[in-house]
Amino acid sequence: MEEKKQSPFGILWKWAEPYHGSFLCAIILAVLGVACSMIPYFCAAKIIGILLEGSNEWSEIVPWIGIMIIGYLGKVVCSNLSTGISHTATYHTLRDIRKNLIAKLARVPMGTVLDTPSGQYKTTIVDRVEGMEPTLAHLLPEMTANVLVPLVIAIYIFVLDWRMGLVSLVTLVIGIIIASQSGKTYAVRWEGAVKIGKRMANAIVEYIGGIQVVKAFSQSAGSYRKYADAVNDNAQYYVDWMAENQKYMASMRGIVPAVLVTVLPAGFGFWMGGSLSTQNFLTVIILSLGLTGPLLAAMTFVDDLAVVGTNVGEIAGILDAEELERPDKEATLNGNEIQLKDVTFSYGSQKEEVLHGINLKIASGTMNALVGPSGSGKSTIAKLIAGFWDVTSGSITLDGTDLRQIPLHQLNDRIAYVSQENYLFDLSIRENIRMGNPKATDKEVEEVAKKSGCDTFIRGLERGYDTVVGGGGGHLSGGEKQRISIARAMLKNAPIVILDEATASIDPENEALIQNALSELTKGKTLIVIAHRLSTIVNADQIVVVENGNIVAKGKQQELLDTCPLYADMWKAHIDAKDQTGEEEQA
């Protein structure tokens, strides 16, 4: 039997489950608040009736005035309490949703994260989650109350005179029919707004992220135009939407409150005919005036109702994404031997394989190099070993245990991964290094910095180890960031080290320092290196040549030079490039 799809409101209510009691309390208080706000209307009708009967005794009027004041005070107290409780529960719910979103990103395959623009994640985690605040904090208690209380008033009017009940609803029905014309396209329009908003967010992130390249190549005008077009398109979309929507909403807001246009003529006719008493006529007039106010307030939540589905859908798209399934119980691991058996892999929903039947054994404590043309699959193999993705078929084992049977935290503890694009957080250098081991002392941080060759330049900075590196490490050079990344990996002291082209973008002077740092990092460890400079891996215990997602050869340096034409060509190209660079430096 097919499982029934849950509605967006059902999903949202489930996310708010820990705070259901608070929301229900807020709804009850909101209903009481609106009910109290209706009391003065009943009292006013009663007072007018007393006066029309010819009574001028204050003793008859004062109690009703007192009840009016009590009703007003009750409305103020209940409304404020409802608002406070609902907002507290709402922001706790939004906090929990954001925490769950961030925690979820740590459990999904790396490809899921990399394939999604960072601007889109920002929009979902910040804007879409925040967009549910009106729904939870206002729509639930206030709309419930603003619909329920007028419903009770309408029933009361029908009890007094069913004809006047029908008449009092005429303008409301007409207004709803007009407003519904706008509502027909609202959901589609909102989806379009979300898409164009994502485009703008991605353009902003792209422009800011690439500002250094943009300025370096004097492309500011062209790049700014792309950003400006996205911003202008976003603004124009809303202008066009509001222009289309306004004619319906303005008509509705003008017609619905005009309830006396129908109530007075019809009521006067019934009164003249003797079928409607003066008291009931006045009561209906006053109550009909209080009928439309709460309903108009309820209609202000139409926008929120329309966007709930989109907001919840985006958030659920992340929370329901496929995870890397791992057990909670730690595996027993005594060694660090890695073995790939018939491994195939495809990225995400792509059907085309990028790795085909990979078989590879990496002995514990050895140095292993993955080489091959760009796009051959080297980094993919390394990231599969690191547990960033699950294999499509086949298996990868660590000490004989399938990686899928090892908890993520346990696998992460055993592997240090260093790439050419290691990210530094906008924290001090000390705290960036300490991320390798949060329990490390300041002395241990500084000791590992010395081993990685970055202690000298750190102490040369104005604030030393307390220097804040800026977003992404923007205040430091590429070589400095790389050495800090290596220091962080060294502090982790994991038995398996993966170096994914860790020196690819480093100048020769810094490369020597970094190679020394890497030598310190990898002593006695199981090492997997992806290298573009073949001279750095000539002493590897095993060199694996990858081409088009296949392993075409493996062995030591001289063995491959003798038996693998692809490796021999790569080696010759490397030597020629090295000689040419040397000649240029001499010149």
Determine, yes or no, domain membership for 328: no
278, 365: one domain: no
Percent of the chain scoring above 90 in pLDDT? 16
- Interacting residues of 545 by C-beta distance below 8 A, sequence separation 6+: 371, 372, 551, 552, 553, 554, 560, 564, 566, 567
Residue 231 sits in the same domain as residue 265: yes
Query: What average pLDDT does the segment 548-571 reach?
Result: 90
Please indicate, yes or no, if residue 459 is contained in any of the structural domains: no
User: What pLDDT is attached to residue 97?
Assistant: 93
Any idea what the CATH number is for the domain that residue 170 is in? Answer: 1.20.1560.10
- CATH, residue 520: 3.40.50.300
Confirm whether 136 is domain-assigned: yes
pLDDT band at 584 (very low <50, low <70, confident <90, very high): very low
pLDDT of 216 higher than 60: no
Distance CA 343, CA 546 (A): 14
Alpha-carbon torsion angle 505, 509, 510, 514, nearest 10: 100
Split at pLDDT 50, 70, 90, the class of 351 is low
Residue 118 included in any domain: yes
Confidence band for 213, pLDDT divided at 50, 70 and 90: low
- The mean predicted confidence, pLDDT, of the chain is 81
The whole-number average pLDDT for the span 388-403 is 90
Cβ contact 337:362 at 8 Å: yes
How does residue 524 score in pLDDT terms, banded at 50, 70 and 90? confident
∠ CA 515-517-522 to the nearest 5 degrees? Answer: 90
| Any domain includes 326 | no
Decide: 87 and 136 in contact? Cβ < 8 Å: no
pLDDT tops 60 at residue 586:
no
Same domain, 296 and 206: yes
Instruction: State the pLDDT at residue 96.
Output: 94
Q: What is the pLDDT of residue 73?
A: 93
Domain extent, residue 116, equals 8-319
Averaged pLDDT, 316-326: 83
CB-based contact 467:454 (threshold 8 Å):
no
**Is residue 3, in this structure, part of any structural domain at all?**
no
Rounded distance, CA 319 to CA 76, Å? Answer: 39
In a domain, 267, yes or no: yes
Of the pLDDT bands very low, low, confident and very high (cuts 50, 70, 90), residue 3 is very low
* Cα 316–Cα 322–Cα 326 angle in degrees, nearest 5: 125
Residue 360 and residue 546 in contact, taking contact as beta carbons nearer than 8 Å: no
Of 265, 286, 319, the last residue of a domain is 319
89 and 177 together in one domain: yes
pLDDT over 50 (residue 587): no
CA distances from 233 to 66, 192, 236, 245, 528 (A): 57, 11, 5, 18, 48
Tally Cβ neighbours within 10 Å of residue 299: 21
Whether residue 520 is predicted with pLDDT greater than 80 in this model: the reply is: no
Residue 272 and residue 372 share a domain: no
DSSP 96-150: HHHHHHHHHHTTS-HHHHHTS-HHHHHIIIIIIHHTTHHIIIIIIIIIHHHHHHH
pLDDT tens per residue, range 43-58: 887 787 777 777 777 8
Of the candidates 49, 547, 524, 99, the residue with the CA atom closest to the CA atom of residue 281: 49
366 and 304 both lie in a single domain: no
Structure tokens at 70: 């009590």
Return the pLDDT at 313.
84
Average pLDDT, integer, range 110-127: 76
Same domain, 344 and 315: no
Query: Are 209 and 115 members of one domain?
Result: yes
Domain match, 98 and 166 both: yes
Residues 204 and 74 in one domain: yes
Alpha-carbon span 28 to 23, nearest angstrom? 9
Model confidence band, residue 583 (pLDDT cutoffs 50, 70, 90): very low
Which of 131-145, 289-303, 484-498, 573-587 shows the lowest mean pLDDT across its residues? 573-587
Residues 296, 348, single domain; the answer is: no
**Which is higher by pLDDT, 550 or 303?**
550
> How far lies 98's CA from each of 105, 107, 111, 134, in Å?
11, 15, 21, 17
The verdict on 301 and 366 lying in the same domain is: no
The whole-number pLDDT of residue 381 equals: 92
Residue 239 lies in a domain: yes
Domain count, the chain: 2
277-291, 384-398, 469-483: which range is least confident on average? Answer: 469-483
| Residue that finishes a domain, picked among 292, 319, 346 | 319
> 550: helix, coil or strand?
strand
Domain end: 258, 286, 319, which one? 319
For the cut 90, the answer to whether the pLDDT of residue 236 exceeds it is no
Give 498's strand partners.
Answer: 417, 528
